[in-house]
Structure 1
Amino acid sequence: MSTLPKLLTQGSALFLDFDGTLADLAHRPDAVDVPGDLARLLDRLHEQLNGALAVVTGRAREDIEPMLSPWRWPAAFEHGALRISAHGDVSAHRPQGIDRAVAAAQHLAGRHTGLLLEIKQTSMALHFRLAPSLEALCVQTLSRAIENAGGLQLLRGKAVIEVKSVGVNKGLAIQAFMNEAPFAGRLPVFAGDDVTDEAGFAVVQRLGGAGIKVGAGTSIALHRCDNPQALRAWLTEATLTPLIHA
């Protein structure tokens, strides 16, 4: 994969996914090994960009914040259904019908070892990394659970199926940040690893910025790097010298 160019300047806005991007994927969401210096790295980047840095993740707020405690940055959790602006304003959207999907997933996880249900404030995720043969059953069960709920959709990621609002994705979350200070007027850069990040790549590149695909797989992102370690090294290098003017 190609070496990343120096994309970050004083006029950049930086958006970062978490799992598979800043931190390596694990067999369970609660087993992720967070590098000890990651919070300090985010702090340095946040300062250099005058606050124009946000984490954009599918994770629930209560799940990820303890991993990088104390949390100090703007963020979009649950693919943007829960968003915290740079000024601390919180917006959240819980769609109707999500409880039925949760109940169906709970029943399925109770019958099959290896399935892990993650219940969030506005959505849910059913992980099958430990039971890959159950993928089709998970899709079928959740599809039936939401078939009469027009405001819900299935979102398939790496060994996970999520149920969330149709009006929520990472691209919309990034666009909302870009309409606010300190992000407005800057060129956005977004790094992510999964199909759920493609909407984010589309938005930042439509705005004249750049997407960075972490790892293998088809993507519309303009740039690539091998793995989270390579991305962290690139981010660290950006903090070692003053960012140039755009």
Structure 2
Amino acid sequence: MDSMKEDGLPLPAPQPGWALFLDFDGTLTELAPSPDAVVVDPAMPQVLAGLLEGLGGAVAVVSGRSLAEVDRLLGVVLPGAGVHGLELRTHRDAEIRPPAEAEGIAVIASVLTPLVEADPRLILETKPGAVALHYRRAPEREKECRAAMKAAVAGTTGIHVIDGKMVLEAKPDHVNKGYAIENLMQVPPFAGRVPVFAGDDRTDEDGFGVVRALKGVTIKIGPGLSRAEYRVASVEAFIDWLKEVASVLSDTG
């Protein structure tokens, strides 16, 4: 396994043979106090359209959010994976594959509901096949939230908890962002290209591992230990790089 490190190389020069996979929160948008409070750069739809054209359609979003939510926030429909791979859309006009584990997740959500209803600072985000407990607005309640999530998943099978940035997410244990990227890399227009994955959180490390195994490009946004090879300091700097990539590929296309 690739070692975790605090630094990385400057971002690489764009290549027309890339297949670009993009996390959403903390990568295409700054993190916000609640999932609905994120602000998307107004130029993002145009940038993504340029990337799609320059990379032959091989641009995907790989997010912990549902694809419907990402579509709404971005203002453009991309291939990709939602809910860490529980939703998969192989091309822009394809149907989203529904998760098979939604019933068990609904039970977990119902167990966590009283905790959240008692404290409006806590957020329970239900997704297709997964449920996330956000304590960003009440960090002092982390220990209680962890205990509540542990109790909620007790007795379930095939479910594990992802530990993100002030969020705990229960989801099927065989699915992650690496699983999603592996699946997308097997179908057009991604197959045969060099995968490039950019992300900022611990939940992106599975994707970094798969992309490095495929001899691709891995980009970490912001500080923290990561197995990603390349590093950029901020969301703003990464978006500036995406704009440059779109421009370069347009000029060479």
Q: TM-score, normalised by structure 1?
A: 0.94
In structure 2, stretches of 5+ residues that fail to align are: 1-6
Judge conservation of contact 2:112–2:148 (CA < 8 Å) in 1: yes
Match for 2:38 among 32, 37, 55? Answer: 32
1:70-95 superposed Cα distances (whole Å, 9 cap, x missing partner): x3210211001011111514222241
Aligned partners of 1:35 and 1:179: how far apart in 2? 31
Aligned equivalent of 2:22? 16
Residue number in structure 2 paired with 1:217: 224
Asked if 1 retains the 8 angstrom alpha-carbon contact of 2:51 and 2:249, the reply is: no
Q: Distance between the aligned counterparts of 1:178 and 1:26, measured in 2? A: 31
1:108 to 115, 133, 136: 115
| 1:170 is the counterpart of 2:177 | yes
Q: 1:109 to 1:58 in 2, by over 3 A?
A: same
Question: Unaligned regions of 5+ residues in structure 1, if any?
Answer: none
Equivalence for 1:80: 85
Structure 1 residue 30, shift from structure 2 partner:
0.5
CA RMSD of aligned residues (A): 1.6
Indicate yes or no: 2:57 matched with 1:42: no
Specify the alignment match of 2:210 in structure 1. 203
Q: Percent identity?
A: 40
How high is the TM-score relative to the length of structure 2? 0.92
Separation in 2, partners of 1:242, 1:122: 37
1:212 CA drift (Å):
0.3
Task: Give the CA deviation at 1:244.
Answer: 9.7
Output the amino acid matched with 1:49: L
Does residue 155 of structure 1 match 2:138?
Answer: no
Kept in 2: contact 1:16–1:56 (CA 8 A): yes
Partner of 1:230: 237
Asked whether the equivalents of residues 71 and 78 of structure 2 are also in contact (C-alpha less than 8 Å), the reply is no
User: In the TM superposition, what is the alpha-carbon distance from 1:243 to its structure 2 partner?
Assistant: 7.0
Between the aligned partners of 2:95 and 2:33, the Cα distance in structure 1 is: 33
In 2, are the aligned partners of 1:125 and 1:163 still within 8 Å (CA)?
A: yes
- Distance change (3 Å), C-alpha of 1:243 and 1:207: farther
Counterpart pick for 1:183 among 187, 190, 207: 190
* AA partner of residue 227 (structure 1): S
Aligned to 1:143: 150
Match of 1:90 among 74, 91, 96: 96
Tell me if the contact between 1:10 and 1:243 (Cα under 8 Å) persists in the aligned partners. no
2-structure distance, mates of 1:222, 1:244: 27
Residue matched to 2:10: 3
